[in-house]
Chain A
Amino acid sequence: MFIGVAVIAAVGMLFSAKETYLRLLNSVALVLLTLSGGWTIRQTLSQGSYSFGSGILYWDALSALLLCVIIVIAVYVILFSFGYMEEEVREKKLPRTRLKWYYFWIWTFMATMLLVVSTPNMGIIWVGIEGTTLATTLLVGFYRNKPAIEAAWKYVILCVVGISFALLGTMLLFASVAPLLGQTLSALDWRMLPKVASQLDPTFFRLGVLFAVVGYGAKVGFAPMHAWLPDAHSQAPSPVSALLSAVLLNCALYAILRWYSLARLTTLGPDFVGTILMCFGFLSLALMTGFILLQKDIKRLLAYSSVEHMGILAIGFGLGTKEAVWGASLHLLLHGLTKANLFVIVGRLVQKTGTRQISRIRGIFKVLPYTGIIMVLGLLSITGTPPFGTFRSEISILSGLFKTDHPFLGFLSILFLTVIFAGFLYHFLQMLYGKPSGRHQPRESASTLALAIPLLVVLFLGLFIPQSLDQALNQVVKVILGGV
């Protein structure tokens, strides 16, 4: 149903590029999306699972978590888009007629992501993930200048090739499962797969799961397949960067998690995919430390930080203990909120100062005091500083490392996280203080602070986890670990 809303909204955007029309249509679509999505999440969590249309669409706690992340962030980012894109039109960076294409692709992108988290089928999920790549390609290249086109080209080529390997993996899965469940669509359904998981042909399945993790991993942006990610995130319009970083990466990770929870039940054993995920995780974390320290471009800084956080998530899920997976599920939500907020506020900053170079942004507190306050909050949250929720989620992942006899890896991760904290602090303090250069902007109004809502939620979840959220996260853990 909300997929229908997104598709209709996407088509509807094409009829007119008038400001009021777009605002109205977007608002109506967002309200409908929130209502139907919220209702689905509620039903799913109270009953454990929920299906629609005789099981074509199906949600469990894990899909509900992703659905929640998508909807919350989409509402925030699209509302922010109104003002941001109007400003871009006013500054003559874009002609007004292109705005309808912008919203068309945004809503197509939403529809494909909603499809990914609503289908219970390993084949359809592939179709959806490939769809997200295609829907975002022209958004990444939206400014149609040289760097934007370079980024879009790199993005589409690397991701399409990466994801085609995931298709090969899905085929190998189908080859191993078809003799057991028949040549039908339901053979790729993950309500059916666990029943025959222990009888799957290990040669086919091992190859298949390797292809799938590497293929989707390219889309998640695990190092060393992350080359497209900073380019795409830095060149896209800032609301799009926020969606890419906070939602799209999570959707690709979600596809891997489905494979992961299936692989835990097969003869490969629970740790096979977990170990691969942890390797990718550590590699991402370790490599990104250097990139973050030496970064000169603020949007690329945030992009590399996304890779780093995807690494942390991979470590948490890969460990496979209850506590670590709980922490990783929470972190998925909190990182999404934090990163969306940071991209939005940095996007606004870049729009006002006219540069992405960290060295040319100075004295934010003097010129834009409220933006400065939000950036401090964002800095503390993205680096996992107490009392923010990200501290809570990161600490449960890290303690999982120590509890499962990986003390060396635990120390290393803490070291990397500390260096990343130092790097972020260095870059942000430089921008916040100092003498503002270039054109002075009129002081902003306190209403800017409304943009900080996601960060305040993260702060709140660091101080207090409501029982309903805790229960929901425990359900997610159960889905991933298979009733452990």
Chain B
Amino acid sequence: MIGISENGLNLVLIVLLTSGLLVVYSARVKNALSWWTLQTVFVSLLLIAEGYHNNALEVMIFGVLLLIAKAGIIPILLRRVLKESNTEWVGEIYLKRAMSLIFAGGLSLMAYEVTQPLMALHSGYRNGLAVAIALIFYGLLLMMTRKVAIVQVLGILLIDNGIFLAGFFLTQGMPLLVELGAAFDILVGIVIIGILSKQMLENYDSLNVDHMRSLKG
């Protein structure tokens, strides 16, 4: 295993899944962002624990870098954009909060169902993979049903966490260079999206993406 007992791993998985659900259920963008940050902290800790267990210093360093970049820089950046735009509402237009929680529950079951064929794995990994896929589904759900730009970004970030976890449980991590590249890309991506949302704010006075409907055909 990865240096965490079966029970410990299950506990971490529960935290990851619950924080994912809470991102979906949050009524304020600020809270959703906090829940996502909590989740990312646990994802990074999982990586650091694995590095510690295998005496792999470079994995631990990467885990710390991930902690700084994803749980530190990204939330600060997004919080700043939120503050400038005075956005609190998460933009639930198509699906209200309670309903989206029910949807997310269904999606979690589906995640277990679709990971069924891949399951020659250890039971702890199996649960881990299902949670990872569930997080990807939550991210897609947020992106489809929410109309505030920053919440859509949270969707991307949830998907990113999910994919990272999937890689972690499938292969105990991709080659470090690829992981580094992927993490760097997501960090730059969030910076660019931040710049773009500022420009959006200047043009539209809000972060509601429903206002952007001029390009058709």
Question: Measuring CB to CB, which residues of chain A are less than 8 angstroms from any residue of chain B?
Answer: 121, 123-124, 126-127, 130-131, 133-134, 137-138, 141, 144-147, 149-154, 156-157, 160-161, 164, 167-168, 170-172, 174-175, 178, 183-185, 187-188, 203-204, 207, 230-231, 234-235, 291, 294-297, 300
Contacts and interface: CB of A to CB of B under 8 A. Distances in A.
B99 interface: no
Contacts of A145: 203
Given A150-B214, A161-B159, A185-B177, A144 B203 contact: yes
Contact of B118 (A153, A185, A204, A297): A204
Nearest to A151: B215
B98 interface: no
A164 B217 CA distance: 27
B193 interface: yes
A153 B149 contact: yes
Contacts of A174: 167, 170-171, 174-175
Contacts of B136: 168
B182 A134 contact: no
A127 B185 contact: yes
A207 B136 CA distance: 16
A153 B175 CA distance: 31
A423 to B, nearest CB: 14
Mostly helix, strand, loop or mixed at chain A's interface?
helix
B8 interface: no
B12 interface: no
A126 B174 CA distance: 12
A156 B196 CA distance: 10
Contacts of A295: 217
Given A134-B189, A141-B199, A203-B118, 15 more contacts: A124-B177, A134-B188, A141-B196, A144-B203, A146-B214, A147-B215, A150-B214, A153-B196, A157-B152, A161-B140, A171-B170, A174-B170, A174-B175, A183-B171, A230-B215
12 contacts: A121-B178, A130-B189, A144-B202, A146-B204, A156-B192, A156-B196, A164-B160, A170-B174, A171-B171, A175-B171, A185-B177, A234-B215
B189 A144 contact: no
Contacts of A124: 177-178, 181
Contacts of A150: 212-215
Which size bracket describes the interface of B in this complex? 35 or more
Interface string B150-171: 0010001001100100110011
B68 interface: no
A339 to B, nearest CB: 20
A138 B189 contact: no
Contact of B175 (A144, A156, A157, A183): A183
A130 B182 contact: yes
A110 to B, nearest CB: 16
A147 B214 contact: yes
Contacts of A300: 217
B214 A184 contact: no
For the complex of A and B, list the 4 residue pairs with the smallest distance between their C-beta atoms, beginning with the closest: A127-B181, A123-B178, A150-B212, A185-B175
Given A149-B196, A150-B215, A151-B215, A134 B178 contact: no
B82 interface: no
B120 to A, nearest CB: 9
Nearest to A155: B196
Given A156-B196, A157-B152, A164-B160, A130 B215 contact: no
Nearest to B159: A164
A187 B192 contact: no
A175 B170 contact: yes
Given A134-B192, A146-B203, A183-B171, A161 B178 contact: no
A54 to B, nearest CB: 15
B153 to A, nearest CB: 8
A300 B215 CA distance: 10
A204 B120 CA distance: 11
B199 A149 contact: yes
